[in-house]
Amino acid sequence: MQEREFWELLEEVFGRSYGRSLSHDLALSSLDSRTAVEALDDGVEPRVVWNVLCDQMDVPDSRRWGRDHNAPPMPATTW
């Protein structure tokens, strides 16, 4: 997953305003309490950030990847 896809999914799943707010304000406990924006800026793989955000927000797998997206492979490293 590329960062561009992260932002597209964020808008599709959460809506533009709410998604942007979550990405800047929600501390993600599994990522050392960094926000999504901070984690991405620190080089965390976008798919990892996306999964952590969705897990924390209880987004089911059926909604997690949007209408036209397939789940990309997980990166080789873990968070």
Decide: helix, strand or coil at residue 28. strand
In this structure, how many other beta carbons lie within 10 angstroms of the beta carbon of residue 56? 16
CA 44-1-42 angle, to 5 degrees, is 15
The mean pLDDT of 57-74, rounded to a whole number, is: 76
Predicted TM-score (pTM) of this structure: 0.83
Alpha-helical (H) ranges within 1-79 are 3-14, 16-25, 36-41, 46-56, 61-64
Instruction: Determine the pLDDT at residue 65.
Output: 84
User: What is the tens place of the pLDDT at every residue in 3-43?
Assistant: 999 999 999 999 999 999 999 999 999 999 999 999 999 99
Give per-residue burial for 5-29: e unless 16+ CB within 10 Å, then b: bbbebbebbbeeeebbebbeebebe
